[in-house]
Structures are given as C-alpha cells and as structure tokens.
Amino acid sequence: MPSHLNRYEQLIAHDSQLPLQFRSQLAGATKLTRLHSKETSSDKQIIWDTTANVIAPILFGFVYWCLVSAKKRGIERLYFVARDGQILHKIAQVICQNWGYDIDCRYLYGSRQAWHAPSLMEIGEAELGWILDSTTFLSVHSVCERVNLTPQQIEDVLIRFEFPPSKWNLNLSRQERSQLEQAFRDPQVIELILSTSAVYREKAIGYFRQEKLGDGLPFAIVDIGWLGRAQRSFSQLLKSAGLYPESGVHGFYFALEKQAKALGSDHLLAFYNVEKPDRHHISKYRHLFELLVAADHGGTMRYEQSDNQYVPILRYQKNEKAINWGLYVLQNAGVEFAQQLTTNLSDSNCATDQFLRASDLLIESFVYDPSPIEAKVFGSFLIADDQGEKVLYELAPAYNFVNCLKLLSFGSQPFKGVWFPASLARSHPLFRIVLNPNILNATHNLRVIVGRLKRSIRAKTETEPASRLVDT
C-alpha cells in the first residue's frame, strides 16, 4: 500500500541510532512528499519517489550543514556554484525562509573550464594535469577547448606531432595522449594559452565583481566535490584581482577526495568524509551523485561582456536530455521535501550529524541495492565524463556478452564510473550470475598474477643481452 512505509522510510524510522522525534519526522516528511506526487508516467513517478525517499534527505542534510557551518564561521553569503548548485540553492532558499537563516544565498555561474583556463599564469605539471585529464573520451579538439583554443590556432604544432586535422575529433589512444602532452609543452602553444588566458581572466573577474565578490561581505562557495581544483583556480583569480579575502576562501563540499588548495589560507570543508572506509562509494560512483544535482542548463564555458554587463556563456541554454528524462520532477520533489520537513520540524530538534547518519543509510541502500525499476530509470540517464560532453554514456548500461567478456578478461567497463550495481540489476540473470563478486575477484587476481609474470619475463629478457655482453 502507498500509505505504508516503504523500505527507505523504514530504514530511517527504525534506526535506533537516530533520536525518536527526528527519525519519525524525517520518515514522515519523506512519506508525505512521496504521496504528494502528481506524476502520471511510471518513470517520472519513480524519479519523484526516489527523490522523496533518498535524494532529497541527502541533499537537504548537506545544505543544512552548509548553513549551520556558515553561521558558525560568520559567513553571510553563500555562492552555490553552477551546475551542481542549482537544486542546492533552491533547497537553501526554503530552509532560510522557513527556519530563519539570515544568509544571502546566490547562484554563481562557474565551472572547471570557466575558472581553470582564465587562472593560468604558468603551465606546470599541475596545470597540464587538468588540461590533459585522461577522460574516457579525449580528443585534440576537446583538449584545446579546455583552454579556449581551437586546433586551427596551433595546427602547425599539431601536425609536427602527427596530429593532422583528420585526427582532431577522434578519441586518442594512450600513446597519442602522451604525444599530445608533448605538443602542449611546446613553447608556442604555452605562449598562446597564457595570452588567451589573460583575455578571459579580465572577463571572469568582471563577472565576479558584478556578483559582489569584492564587496567585503564574508562568503563561501558551495559545490558537490571532488578534488577542490575549481576552488584553487577561483582563489587564484580572486588573488590576481585583489579580491581574495584576508581570511581565505571557504568552500563547502558534499565530499572531497583530496584538497587542492591554491593558497594556504583556503578552507575546504566536506559534509561527507570519504576517508571513512564504508564511504568509498562516493569516489567510486561520483557520476551517480552528479546526476542527483543535475541542472537545466549547460556548463559555463566562459564569460563575455555585453551592454555593460558580464554574462556567462553556456555550452547550451537548455539541458533538454535531462529535462526530458525528468529533471524538473527531481527538483520539484526536492523542494517539496524541504517544505515538508521545515514546516513540521524545527531546526532546534535536529543536528547535522543526524542527517549524516541518515545519508549513510540511504546512500548505501540506494547505491548498492537499487530496485530493478530504479536501476532502469536512473541508470538510463546519459552522462559525460569530460567537461566538453563530447560523448554521452548511460550511467548504468545493461551488460551484454561483449561487456561481460571485456570486464572478466581486461577489467574494463564501458566508461569510467559505471554504476555497477544498477548495471547488474538491468542485466539478464545469466550475466548477473557470471559477474558475481567471487568471479570478479578471481579474474582480477588472475590478471594481477599474469601482469606480474609478464613484467618479470620482460625484465629478464631485457637484462640477458647485457649479461651476454659482459661474458663476452
């Protein structure tokens, strides 16, 4: 019966580690939100229900933690960075209104490309690391786009390194990626990147000033994660313009794998500590978590000046694929949950660690044990693992014979970050049997042994000629 508690609601309601009033109100809010659905499509209904039960409580807990942390640190403004920040910003507005948090919450257009490229003042190993970040699909064109260049601008260098125009849009092999790195170390390319960076830096800083980043009000940025590299570029841009706050830039993140600080005074804080052994699923399935905070517009590529105003230039105005999938259903359910919870529960009766505990329960259940229909609906969402979004992949594709063979023989997935439990749930029962953990572990161990044996034989073969030479 729809009015009965479902598996997620029971997880919360029956967890003795949560205070009785809190878990009752949280389970009740998820149930009320679920029952408020007006969706008629079965797929859209699944999106609404899963958001009410799983996604909304997790995101609400994170946003609440951001607001509490900001208040404790004297931060008066939060910038929710696009695109991950769109749904988070909407939830924050509900919390501030209903629970009386006097914090200015703003939506800030930004991205890795919009901040990384303009922040370049030198090209070292760290900079080359993100310029040539080895995503599943990587082409000459996509790498050039990361630094606001076109392949035509460096055509002579590319040809010298065996990259004619016919190769510019092809996915590069491992060897070709190494060759491209050498091309981007060429002084001519470096000089062009840095001169282009200076042009876009001025426009980025103009946009920052326009959004009041230089008015002296203590602020922090809010993003989903994962390395903090975007904040490093953001801080470098602020520093170059004299806008960097004396107390450093604060960044509130859902989760961080590493902390890539630009300056020693930066502060990178995470709601979900991935160093705990039972939270490795965040790193493993980050694309799934990025789906939960998808936006209805394309990524920010750069900023331009138009009629005395700085405007973000988006990769596309409308994220039609996500909207058609059911993005607005997800966002509306998230806002509805925030309204339900803040109306029926006072912030004095909850704490951030309680939401963290609830998030642990919900994430583990949803990530590792999705129902077949959840796996189908969420697993069919199309994602890209490169910022240029050149190639899209299903988040959790159903496995066929070829996929199984590649996984067992080489350990290779269709793309990095496949939501494996959902892929299994979508696959034929025979493939689910073949791809059970015991078989996968055994084939992995066998590949490790074979790899070591090959390296040992190769090393022995390479040393034998030298030994013969000495004997002679």
| Closest to 94 measured CA to CA, from 355, 345, 356, 299 | 345
Alpha carbon distance 369, 265 (integer Å)? 41
pLDDT for the residue 447: 84
Bridge partners of 275, per DSSP, are none
297 Cβ contact list (under 8 Å, min separation 6): 82, 83, 314, 316, 317, 318, 319
In order, the DSSP letters of 88-156 are HHHHHHHHHHHHT---EEEEE---HHHHHHHH-SS--HHHHHHHT---SS--HHHHHHHTT--GGGGHH
Helices marked H in 215-293: 229-240, 281-284, 286-292
Across-strand partners of 394?
A: 382
Q: What is the pLDDT of residue 79?
A: 98
Q: What percent of the chain is helix, strand and coil (3-state, nearest 5)?
A: 60, 10, 30
Provide block-wise average pLDDT over 10 residues at a time, the chain (472 residues): 86 96 96 95 97 98 98 97 97 98 97 93 89 90 94 97 96 94 96 96 97 95 92 95 95 86 86 76 85 96 93 96 97 98 94 96 95 97 82 91 88 84 94 86 85 81 61 54
Gap between the Cα atoms of 210 and 309, Å rounded: 8
d(CA 182, CA 107): 38
* Burial class (CB within 10 angstroms; exposed 0-12, middle 13-18, buried 19+) of 470: exposed
Query: What CA–CA distance (Å, rounded) separates 233 from 284?
Result: 25
Cα atoms found within 13 Å of the Cα of residue 411, Cβ hemisphere only: 11
User: Between 229-240 and 112-119, two packed helices, what is the crossing angle to 10 degrees?
Assistant: 50
Q: Provide the pLDDT for residue 34.
A: 97
Q: pTM above 0.85?
A: yes
Amino acid found at 1: M
The sign of the dihedral angle between the CA atoms of 131, 168, 387, 316 is positive
Q: Are strands 382-383 and 393-394 parallel, antiparallel or unpaired?
A: antiparallel
State the pLDDT at residue 277. 67
Query: Is 102 within 8 Å of 315 (Cβ atoms)?
Result: no
Alpha carbon distance 336, 39 (integer Å): 14
Residue 146: the pLDDT is 92
pLDDT for 130: 86
